[in-house]
């Protein structure tokens, strides 16, 4: 009888680059649809309001020929919620990547596991998946309120 010890086989997390790039490409398309509807300058912002849900405040933090960096602030007065994400759009590659999230510093591609912060090895892709879900929700149900009070409704 051969016994197989499951605890002895432990695989190191390896990111799936193809999946990650597809997700970032999808996020680029979604975020482009939102930010291209409102013309904002550096350090200006606009909000996407969804009834009964946390608001999304989008601020342009950096712009160059090939990139734009946005701060996405998710907040609600109804519940104690204030999440801040930094997202960079790479226009030449047409990808958008979460650089930092949940009020933390820059995200490494992979967290060593176990770690003191209790981070999952795939924390970066999880935050990019969350961004994808939130952008889908904003595109389906959101209304934009820019600095000049112009109201736009997002349609698919």
pLDDT on residue 4:
52
pLDDT on residue 111:
56
d(CA 85, CA 106): 10
Select the more confidently predicted residue: 70 or 45: 70
CB count within 10 Å of CB 113 equals 13
Residue pair 56/69 in contact (Cβ under 8 Å)? The answer is no
d(CA 29, CA 93): 11
d(CA 57, CA 90): 20
Average pLDDT over all residues of the chain: 78
Structure tokens at 54: 């946390």
pLDDT on residue 112:
60
Asked whether the predicted pLDDT for residue 103 surpasses 50, the reply is no
Select the more confidently predicted residue: 124 or 153: 124
d(CA 70, CA 90): 11
pLDDT on residue 83:
81
Query: Virtual CA dihedral for 24, 29, 33, 39, nearest 10 degrees?
Result: 70
Asked whether the predicted pLDDT for residue 138 surpasses 70, the reply is yes
Biggest distance spanned by C-alpha atoms of the chain: 76
Among 9-23, 40-54, 96-110, the range scoring the smallest mean pLDDT is 96-110
pLDDT on residue 107:
57
pLDDT on residue 62:
93
What residue segments make up the domains of the chain, in order of their start?
Answer: 27-146
Asked whether the predicted pLDDT for residue 48 surpasses 90, the reply is no
Q: By three-state DSSP, how is residue 119 classified?
A: coil
Is the pTM higher than 0.75?
Answer: no
Average pLDDT over residues 136-151: 64
Residue pair 99/108 in contact (Cβ under 8 Å)? The answer is no
């Amino acid at each position: 009888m051969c016994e197989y010890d499951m605890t002895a086989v432990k695989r190191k997390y390896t990111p799936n680059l193809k999946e990650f790039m597809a997700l970032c490409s999808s996020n680029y398309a979604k975020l482009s649809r939102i930010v291209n509807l409102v013309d904002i300058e550096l350090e200006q912002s606009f909000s996407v309001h969804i009834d009964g849900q946390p608001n999304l405040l989008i601020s342009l933090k950096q712009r160059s020929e090939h990139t734009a960096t946005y701060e996405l602030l998710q907040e609600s007065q109804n519940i104690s919620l204030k999440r801040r994400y930094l997202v960079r759009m790479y226009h030449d590659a047409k990808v958008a990547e979460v650089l930092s999230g949940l009020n933390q510093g820059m995200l490494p591609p992979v967290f060593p596991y176990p770690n003191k912060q209790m981070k999952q090895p795939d924390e970066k892709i999880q935050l990019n998946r969350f961004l994808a879900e939130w952008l889908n929700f904003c595109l389906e149900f959101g209304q934009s309120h820019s600095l000049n009070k112009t109201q736009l409704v997002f349609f698919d």
